[in-house]
Structures are given as structure tokens and as C-alpha cells.
Amino acid sequence: MIIIFERTGGFAGITQRAVIDTASLSPEERQALEALLEQAGFFDLPPRLAREGEGVDRFQYLVTIEHGDRKHTVVLSEEAMPESLQPLMRRLSLLARRFRSP
């Protein structure tokens, strides 16, 4: 599975980008990530999750996941993030630190 993760915005306005290849994760990490992906229903989410009048200091996310023959991209704001998606996004944010891209 390939995950392209980008987080922008926030108080400092720092962009975090990463390409995560789950083949480079331990089997335990990969299994945990796949479970979070399934629990979040990522492939069933609409392509855009946002609210009107979003705060300027809030994070915005762009996530693309390629898994087998499925590929899905979601653009979302921190304010519009469903609770079911929050554990997955926290895990991806942590992994993005390890797989940082310029």
C-alpha cells in the first residue's frame, strides 16, 4: 500500500509531506495501519470533507491511498474530520515524520 500524506496550515503554517510505502513497515505496524484504514472506512469517504468558514489556524489534509486495485484521495479540514477518521490521521501524521518528503 502506498500512502501520500500532506498536512498544511496550523498556527505555524508548516507543511508536512510524506510518501509512505507500507512494505517498509513492520508487519505489526502494517496490520495496525490497515485496521485503522478499515475502521475509518477511508475508501467510502467523499473526496472532500470541509465546513464553511473554517478557521485559518486549522490543519488541512490531502491523503491519497493506493491499496491493491483501489485508489482514493480525500481532501479534508481538521474541523470537518469525522471522529472515526481521527485515529488514522494521527497514525499517518506520526508516520509522515519518518517518511518525510521535501
pLDDT digits (tens, 9 = 90+) for 9-65: 877 777 889 999 999 999 999 999 999 999 999 999 999 997 765 566 788 999 999
The rounded distance, in Å, linking the Cα atoms of 101 and 97 is 9
- Asked if residue 93 lies in contact with residue 2, where contact means CB atoms within 8 angstroms, the answer is no
- What residue ranges in the chain does DSSP mark as E strands? 2-9, 16-21, 48-49, 59-67, 70-77
Q: Is the pLDDT of residue 71 over 90?
A: yes
Q: Tell me the whole-structure pTM to 2 decimals.
A: 0.87
Q: Is the pLDDT of residue 102 over 80?
A: no
Would you state the pLDDT for residue 48? Answer: 95
DSSP 8-state assignment for residue 102: -
- Asked if residue 36 lies in contact with residue 95, where contact means CB atoms within 8 angstroms, the answer is no
